Chains A and B, each alone.
Chain A
Amino acid sequence: MTRGDHPRPWEPTAALVGALLVTLAVLPLGLLTRRPDLVLLIVPAASLATWGLATRPRTEPSVSTRIGPTVVAEGGAVGWHAYVTAPTGAHDVAAVIAPTAYIFGSPRDSALAANLPAVTGTAVPVELGTTLVATRWGRHEVGAAILAVTSALGTFRWTPRQLPDATIIVLPGKESFATRTTMPHPRGIVGGNRSTRRGEGSDFAAVRPYGPGDRLSRIDWRLSTRTGVLQVAAMHADLDTEVMLVVDAFHDLGTSGGVTGPASSLDTAVRAATALAEHYLRVGERVGLLVLGVSGVAPVRPHAGRMQFRRIQDSLATIRPGSVRGSEDRATAALLARIRLGATVLVLTPGISAAALGRASALTASGLTVLVIDTLPRAATRADRLERADLEAIAPFTDHRDLAATRLAWRVRLLEREAQLRRLRESGLPVVSWVGPGSLDDVLRQLRRRARAPHLVRR
């Protein structure tokens, strides 16, 4: 519970000052000119001023606020509550909550009003409360508010300083994702992917003569009887894989409409990374996370288990795009150097950062299995159809005349991007667009086949 800072006294409102001024100006005029009708006209103003002065509250109210929960999923609700304990003479309380991007309540939920009951002995706090909806992942400062308590007939007002906000972490929502294709380079200890080497697995590999250490349950009795020698069924080992998710957060392109609206490139990348992490952790893989182009987001080392999913979600929620300092290429190289040999690298990128694409190509050349997932919104790929707001989201204008120039520049950048992606494909690096479930099935199957084939590796 947060206590508001409120050192201010009760202050007269414009209604009281106005009523007093009218009374003090007109009453002498009416008396001097002997006009009882003029005096009658300001009787209400005089009454209002007298009533307000006579019932002025003597002490200051106390206010506390509570905002929570502090961690919610996208689309989740955040409660905002203020508790006001007001002295005798205070009659009305109202609050306006400051708007926050991607934390929405209807306008009517952001302005609250309540009637303060007449205090009889112990003051009971009055609660003002509303529910806001967190529509986009990330860290948000939520709930700063202005509150005002007023006395009878709105004649005195007490306003504390701005009520404090709270940091809400909105965890990225999961896009639906599932794949039945196993990973191409299982190198762990135990898991769900068929290894090329023999071991204790579930997939049949071959029949061979019995040897020391073989389990009796593996003996193929029918074949052994026929050949006269004990034969056992050899199996492929089932191993886990290290999956490294790499999110390119150098740029956030396109308009973000929250969980129910259009998705920007980073929205797609973050939600896809969440879905991939959840899927691969569920099937027993070790999953790690690297975020390119941001400062303050520590790499998540590959681990298995439920807690790892939460670690990845927490890291994704702290992304602030383009906050890295220094050269893009150096920052990317330093991060990608952490990836261990044998890992399967899934790079989620809008394909705009040349550093990210170049380094992905270098990873492939060093023998890693790399898959580039294109997260650029489909709408952003049609430069001629982009509206002013879309272009503004891609490159903020400094001048209204920048519209045509920005459109042209974006078209050129898209052509460059297409050429870069084509070169990547030609060099054997698969590039797929993220479309949810089944996005990676075909390409993973191809990678598996390719992994079994002999190939040259430059180290």
Chain B
Amino acid sequence: MSGPARVRAVLAADGPDRLILRAAVVVLGGGATTVAVIAGGTARPTGQALLLLLTVAAALVPDSLLPAALTTGVVLFWGATVPRPTGPEDLILPGVAALLLLGLQLAAAALGVWPPGARVPPSARRRWMRHGLAIAAGTVAVTGFAAALMAARLPGDAVASIAALVAVAGGGIAAYRLITR
């Protein structure tokens, strides 16, 4: 079997539902990178190329840690290229990027649920949409809350920062206990 024929056979065996989800990973990963570039104001070809590679890899092997690596890559790229936000309006683009990353993670998770060739039941598709929209609504709410806090110009507090870090550590331990129970 020739190369293109083999690729066509693999794509056909994957099924249209999974192909759409793979395409969603590529589009949403590329979209998140593009938003980061727009927010940073300057192109970073090396970083963008690395993120593009990670995006393609995540689409090819979605049931792995590659989607998480892509998310981490986008966040690091963002932290390195985008200046610190100074006003509530600076949180609009992070909110948009967060929604794109949400779509990417959901698509990658869904690809790990349904095997190649399977038809995704419509009821399952609706439930995933409902859950995704709920998380998206939560993300928008958190973005709005963060914007409100920035607008209020509350002073920083070392105790609050330490408490937040302790909470993150506690959350990590709790998650570990829940998984290994």
Task: Mark A residues whose CB is within 8 Å of B.
Answer: 12-29, 31-45, 47-49, 51, 53, 56, 91-92, 94-96, 107-108, 110-115, 148, 150, 152-155, 157
Of the residues A15, A23, A29, A32, contact of B112 by C-beta under 8 Å = A15
Q: What's the least CB distance linking A55 to chain B, in Å?
A: 10
Contacts of B82 on A, CB cut-off 8 Å?
37
Structural contact, B124 and A13, CB atoms closer than 8 A: no
Q: Whole-angstrom distance between the alpha carbons of A16 and B159 in the complex? A: 30
Structural contact, A41 and B75, CB atoms closer than 8 A: yes
- Interface residue B6 (Cβ < 8 Å from any Cβ of A): no
Contacts of A42 on B, CB cut-off 8 Å?
71, 75, 98, 101
Structural contact, A40 and B113, CB atoms closer than 8 A: no
Task: Using A45-B101, A112-B118, A113-B121 as known contacts, list a sample of 6 further A-B pairs with CB atoms less than 8 Å apart, ordered by residue number in A.
Answer: A15-B105, A22-B72, A36-B150, A37-B82, A48-B106, A94-B115
Contacts of B99 on A, CB cut-off 8 Å?
44
Write the B87-116 contact mask toward A (1 if CB under 8 angstroms, else 0). Answer: 000110111011101100110111011111
Given contacts A34-B84, A44-B101, contact A21 B156 (CB under 8 A): no
Contacts of B78 on A, CB cut-off 8 Å?
37-38, 41
Structural contact, B94 and A37, CB atoms closer than 8 A: yes
Q: List 8 A-B contacts (CB under 8 A).
A: A38-B79, A43-B98, A45-B71, A47-B138, A53-B175, A94-B114, A153-B106, A153-B128
Of the residues A21, A33, A41, A150, contact of B74 by C-beta under 8 Å = A41
Most chain A beta carbons < 10 A, residue from B82, B109, B120, B138: B109
Given contacts A40-B142, A41-B98, A115-B127, contact A31 B164 (CB under 8 A): yes
Q: What's the least CB distance linking A48 to chain B, in Å?
A: 6
Structural contact, B119 and A14, CB atoms closer than 8 A: no
Q: Whole-angstrom distance between the alpha carbons of A40 and B143 in the complex? A: 7
Write the B59-95 contact mask toward A (1 if CB under 8 angstroms, else 0). Answer: 0000111011101101100110010110000110111
Q: What's the least CB distance linking B18 to chain A, in Å?
A: 10
Of the residues B109, B139, B161, contact of A43 by C-beta under 8 Å = B139
Task: Across the interface, name the chain A residue whose C-beta is closest to B172.
Answer: A24
Structural contact, B143 and A24, CB atoms closer than 8 A: no
Q: What's the least CB distance linking B79 to chain A, in Å?
A: 5
Of the residues B65, B98, B102, B178, contact of A17 by C-beta under 8 Å = B65
- Interface residue B41 (Cβ < 8 Å from any Cβ of A): no
Q: What's the least CB distance linking B120 to chain A, in Å?
A: 6
Of the residues A19, A37, A94, contact of B85 by C-beta under 8 Å = A37
8 A Cβ contacts from B153-181 to A? 156, 161, 164-165, 168, 171-172, 175, 178-179
Task: Across the interface, name the chain B residue whose C-beta is closest to A91.
Answer: B127
Q: What's the least CB distance linking A256 to chain B, in Å?
A: 21
Q: Whole-angstrom distance between the alpha carbons of A41 and B116 in the complex? A: 30
Q: What's the least CB distance linking B123 to chain A, in Å?
A: 4
Of the residues A35, A95, A108, A112, contact of B79 by C-beta under 8 Å = A35
Q: Whole-angstrom distance between the alpha carbons of A47 and B106 in the complex? A: 11
Structural contact, B165 and A91, CB atoms closer than 8 A: no
Contacts of B171 on A, CB cut-off 8 Å?
23-24
Structural contact, A96 and B115, CB atoms closer than 8 A: yes
Structural contact, B15 and A108, CB atoms closer than 8 A: yes
Write the B118-152 contact mask toward A (1 if CB under 8 angstroms, else 0). Answer: 11110110011001000110110011001001100
Structural contact, A20 and B114, CB atoms closer than 8 A: no
8 closest cross-chain pairs (CB), A and B: A18-B68, A44-B102, A15-B109, A111-B117, A154-B109, A115-B124, A37-B94, A111-B118
Q: What's the least CB distance linking A158 to chain B, in Å?
A: 12
Of the residues B72, B114, B138, B139, contact of A113 by C-beta under 8 Å = B114
